[in-house]
Every structure is written in C-alpha cells, then in structure tokens.
Amino acid sequence: MAERIQKILARAGYGSRREIERWVNAGDITVNGVVATTGQAVDENDKITIRGKVIKFASKLKAKPQVLLYHKKVGEICSRNDPEGRPTVFDNLPKLSSGRWIQVGRLDINTDGLLIFTTDGELANRLMHPSYEIEREYASRILGKVTDEMIDRLTTGVELEDGMAKFTRIKFEGGEGANSWYHVVLNEGKNREVRRLWESQDVVVSRLRRIRYGDIILHRSLRRGEHEKLPVRAMRNLYEKVKMELDEENFLSKSAYKNRAERNAAFKYGKKKRK
C-alpha cells in the first residue's frame, strides 16, 4: 500500500518525518530517478535513493523496532556530530546492523537526564508531536525565592519570545538555603522551555534533569552515560500511548531471544511507580 514518502521512510527508521521532509525539500531524495516531492505517495516497489544511495526499505519495514533509554550527561550535546569536537549523546549508543537511532526530543548541553531513542521514525514523530500531549517531567533546582504568585503565573501562562508557555504542574520537593527543588511538568518540548519559564520570573535554574517522558521514568539504576533497551511490554504501552500498534510477532519468534527464559523476562517487565 502506498504511503506518503516521509511517513514510510520514517517508519523504516531512516529519520524522523521532519528530517525526511528537510531532505525532500533539499532535493536529496529521488523516486524512480525523479526528485521527490513532499507528501508524494510511494510503496515498496519504488526505487528510492537518499543522497545518491539506493535504499532497501522493504525489509526494514518488517524489522523488529527498538526503543532505547539513555541517561544523558551534562556536557553532551544532542547531535550526531559536533564541529567543535564535543561529546554527543550518540557516542555511547550501541551500534546497529541496519537503520539508525532516532532521537526523541532534545536536552541542552547543561541538562542531564532521560533521553529516548528508537529505530521507528513514526513512533519518534508521534512522541514529539504536540497533538499527543506527551508529558515531560523535570527536576529543577532553583536559585532564588519562589513565591505563590510566581507559581500562579507559571501555571497560567507566560509570554515567551516564541509564544505562550506554561507548566501544567509544579511541585515543591524541598531544599535548603537559597536553593530549592521543584518538579515541573510540560506537555510540549520547545527549546530550553523549562529554563526560560523560570528565568521569566527572575530566578536561576542551577540544575536541571529530565526524569520522565510520558510513562517512562528515569530509574536510579540507569547511571549517567549508560543505556538500556526498553522491553516488549513497556514498548507496547508506549505505542498505545500514541495510538500505534506494536507488531509483536517478531518478538515472539524463536530467533528473537536466545532462550525461553530471556523471552519470558522481556514480557515480565513492569513499570516502577514514582512515589
């Protein structure tokens, strides 16, 4: 069945829809020898090239998708390559035999915490799209006095340079002296939004960590710079969250796991609730 080019290539893991649209607009993708257009319908029988390289995406559409959780360190940038030679979040990810890791959202260089990567570009697109209102929760250490009036403004809405923004929830988590901790929740992912919201109230964010994305929580066992694959049961919940269905046939095949115990362990994964 024919699908829009950015959707089918994203699903095959070549990038997010947004990335693929950029490549189409730049003339980097051809279909059957002709420069592709945004929204063009293609199917598995079409010959598609990306930057001169013919891709074989039919098999990748049937491949087992993967989701990876990564604990980003302060000082790492959310980019595949950096002209300044700084470490990137991709440096510590496991190598893939085919496809590539697609990053779900970004964190700035001075923020640590949970990042999600997937080989399924359509999943990445939906997890980032504002229409699905996926919650992002951050632990923020604030330097300066936070008043009830400030909290009211931050949860009602503040005009930033790129439009209105707000926290959907703010919870005080303790602190001493000039520093205090607040957990804040957003339903979108504008650039440096948490920092800019707090700074609009003339206080300073002295530390920031993302601790949750949707239902996925950053557990203490996942140390900075380390990663872990999301098991099947949790992946199913993640797909359902964005109205997608996970094809679990690939996960149930004998070749998917080394033995029955490994397969059973993957399906017994349970989410830990934050107290």
Active site residues: 108
Distance between CA atoms of residues 89 and 106, nearest Å:
10
CB atoms within 10 A of CB 272: 9
Residue (of 160, 227, 207) closest to 188 by Cα position: 160
Beta strands per DSSP E along the chain: 3-4, 29-31, 34-35, 41-42, 48-50, 53-54, 67-72, 102-104, 112-118, 136-143, 158-160, 163-165, 169-172, 179-186, 204-213, 216-217, 227-229
Distance between CA atoms of residues 24 and 28, nearest Å:
6
Q: Supply 180's token pair.
A: 């205090």
